[in-house]
């Protein structure tokens, strides 16, 4: 009984953190000035939004296998977002997108 309550509180807090990072990521995607800073916002949503969601679901998972699957998903998302961020930034730099500076704006 008490254990269920603790589990609900912990997973609820993790879900709220996840929601915060998803909203922060998409607000950043809209408001940031150039591709490079938008990449920063996007990878926050990827890494921490999904990470906290997966942590919250893993707390509530029925079995260890399910928790490990959730952890696998998080690592795949991390891998995807790190790779994507790197190749996007490199492609943008090669194709001549100027990084935003305060003076230029």
Partner 1 sequence: MRVTLEALAVVLLIAAGMGMIRIALGPTSADRMLASMLFGTVGVALTLVLGALEDIPALVDMAIVFAILASVTAVAFVERAWGAGDR
Give me the residues that bind partner 1 (CB under 8 A), please: 8, 11-12, 15-16, 18-19, 22-23, 25-27, 29-30, 35, 38-39, 42, 45-46, 49-50, 53-54, 57, 60, 66, 69-70, 72-73, 76-77, 79-81, 83-84, 87-88, 90-92, 94-95, 97
Given a contact cutoff of 8 angstroms between Cβ atoms, the answer to whether 45 and 26 are in contact is yes
Q: Provide, rounded to whole angstroms, the least separation between the CB of residue 102 and partner 1.
A: 19
SS3 55: helix
Given a contact cutoff of 8 angstroms between Cβ atoms, the answer to whether 70 and 58 are in contact is yes
CA angle, corner 98, sides to 95 and 101, nearest 5?
Answer: 165
The residue (of 72 and 99) whose beta carbon lies closer to partner 1 is 72
Q: Is 71 exposed, middle or buried (0-12, 13-18, 19+ CB in 10 A)?
A: middle
Q: Provide, rounded to whole angstroms, the least separation between the CB of residue 13 and partner 1.
A: 9
Q: Provide, rounded to whole angstroms, the least separation between the CB of residue 76 and partner 1.
A: 4
Q: Provide, rounded to whole angstroms, the least separation between the CB of residue 3 and partner 1.
A: 14
């Amino acid at each position: 009984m008490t254990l269920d309550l603790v589990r609900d509180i912990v997973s609820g807090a993790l879900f709220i953190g996840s929601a915060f990072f998803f909203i922060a990521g998409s607000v950043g995607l809209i408001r940031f000035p150039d591709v490079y800073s938008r990449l920063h916002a996007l990878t926050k949503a990827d890494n921490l939004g999904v990470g906290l969601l997966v942590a919250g679901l893993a707390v509530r998972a029925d079995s260890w296998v399910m928790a490990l699957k959730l952890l696998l998903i998080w690592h795949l998302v991390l891998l995807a977002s790190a790779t994507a961020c790197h190749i996007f930034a490199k492609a943008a730099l090669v194709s001549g997108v100027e990084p935003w500076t305060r003076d230029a704006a």
